């Protein structure tokens, strides 16, 4: 405890970029709409197979996006908390580590190495959707950043 404040109390809120917040919110909304409205309607009306594959793989796509965003935020918080030991790790490495950890989780889940995400059935299209979600999210946060300009 320094100056009456613990390290947690002195941590600054990470200023997450607006597009990241929107991406997170829209992803959750798409997941909900797909689960409760789009997927049942597409399957009930027997739409073409490519559309069925798409609506069945959206959860994996969204899982990769949301997982990468959450993992990135957690790692940035940890970097801030452990400033003296890992504070010099560059954002690029944080993004890559986050995407890698999420990739290991979502792909190993699809390959049935574990069942932490619930009742899972292997589908190569789900693996493809997960990889697309991971690469898209990593590309976005690498290109546009995750946090607003940090203090020097």
d(CA 19, CA 30): 16
**Distances, alpha carbon 152 to alpha carbons 8, 87, 88, 113, 149, in Å:** 20, 12, 11, 42, 9
Q: Please answer whether residues 64 and 130 qualify as being in contact, where contact means their C-beta atoms are separated by less than 8 angstroms.
A: yes
pLDDT digits 0-9 by tens, 41-60: 999 998 999 999 999 999 99
Q: Please answer whether residues 53 and 28 qualify as being in contact, where contact means their C-beta atoms are separated by less than 8 angstroms.
A: no
Residue 5 has pLDDT above 60, yes or no: no
Quote the pLDDT of residue 81. 87
**Distances, alpha carbon 102 to alpha carbons 65, 69, 128, 134, in Å:** 9, 10, 14, 8
Tell me the average pLDDT of the chain: 89
pLDDT digits 0-9 by tens, 60-75: 999 999 999 999 999 9
Q: What is the pTM of this model?
A: 0.87
**Nearby residues of 24 by Cβ (< 8 Å), 6 or more positions away:** 65, 66, 69
pLDDT digits 0-9 by tens, 99-120: 999 999 999 888 877 776 666 7
The mean pLDDT of 19-37, rounded to a whole number, is: 97
pLDDT digits 0-9 by tens, 120-130: 778 899 999 99
Beta partners for residue 16, in sequence order: 147
Helix%, strand%, coil% for the chain, nearest 5: 70, 5, 25
């Amino acid at each position: 405890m320094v100056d009456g404040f613990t390290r947690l109390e002195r941590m600054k809120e990470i200023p997450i970029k607006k597009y990241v917040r929107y991406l997170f919110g829209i992803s959750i909304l798409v997941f909900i709409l797909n689960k409760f409205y789009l997927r049942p309607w597409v399957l009930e009306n027997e739409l073409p197979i490519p559309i069925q594959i798409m609506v069945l793989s959206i959860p994996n796509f969204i899982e990769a996006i949301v997982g990468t965003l959450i993992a990135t935020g957690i790692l940035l918080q940890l970097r801030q908390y452990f400033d003296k030991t890992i504070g010099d790790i560059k954002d690029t490495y944080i993004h890559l580590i986050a995407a890698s950890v999420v990739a290991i989780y979502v792909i190993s889940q699809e390959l049935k190495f574990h069942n932490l995400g619930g009742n899972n059935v292997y589908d190569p299209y789900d693996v493809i959707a997960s990889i697309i979600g991971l690469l898209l999210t990593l590309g976005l946060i690498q290109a546009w950043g995750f946090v607003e300009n940090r203090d020097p």
